Amino acid sequence: MIQPRMTVGLSILCLAAIASGPVADRCLAAGEKWSGDGVSWVRPEGWKQKARSGLRFATLYRADDEKTEITVYRFGPNSGGLLANVNRWRAQVGLQPTDEATLKKESRVVKADKLEAIVVDLKGESKRIVGAILPTQNATWFFKLTASPKVAGKHKADVPKLVESVRFKSE
């Protein structure tokens, strides 16, 4: 068990690391709660998190394979719609577009802070996307694991697990 003084010391060390750059990744370990900019989540076991970069709200990566990532984006509430975004992901893995009825059959819904996110598992020949789209009143959140079919299959449960842990301070 971490003692209170040690926790304060680690917090100060992490703040110093965040201010100084790449070392910040080490402070955001798997299984810990992350919170910032009105949202929080718990990283699934085996995942670490990098600081914000460009359009990415967050990037989670496997501790044992930094190329395996879950990217998190936050866009406005009118971000093209569910079907258009899923069809864009389908094109990225070499699949043909789908329609609303098929999408409903081939996706599942998970709860995130009293909201509903849609989760899809899109398997192409050489690439697989496990993604979730979480619309809120003020934004649309995208969580996307892109990897080889084998690697994405191994970690596909981590995307809905991450999304289910999402909590908003005020939406």
pTM equals 0.82
Would you list the DSSP string of 93-162?
Answer: TTPPP--HHHHHHHEEEEEETTEEEEEEEEE-SS-EEEEEEEE-SS-EEEEEEEE-HHHHHHHTTHHHHH
Query: In which domain, by residue range, is 51 found?
Result: 31-168
d(CA 122, CA 110): 17
Query: Who wins on pLDDT, 8 or 37?
Result: 37
pLDDT band at 32 (very low <50, low <70, confident <90, very high): confident
- Let me know whether 11 and 90 are in one domain: no
- Let me know whether 80 and 143 are in one domain: yes
Q: Are 109 and 119 spatial neighbours (Cβ–Cβ below 8 Å)? A: yes
Q: Is the pLDDT of residue 7 over 60?
A: no
Q: What pLDDT does 29 receive?
A: 56
- Let me know whether 39 and 15 are in one domain: no
- Let me know whether 148 and 164 are in one domain: yes
- Let me know whether 39 and 103 are in one domain: yes
- Let me know whether 83 and 104 are in one domain: yes
Q: What pLDDT does 149 receive?
A: 97
Q: Is the pLDDT of residue 118 over 90?
A: yes
Q: Is the pLDDT of residue 31 over 50?
A: yes
- Let me know whether 23 and 60 are in one domain: no
The structural domain count of the chain equals: 2
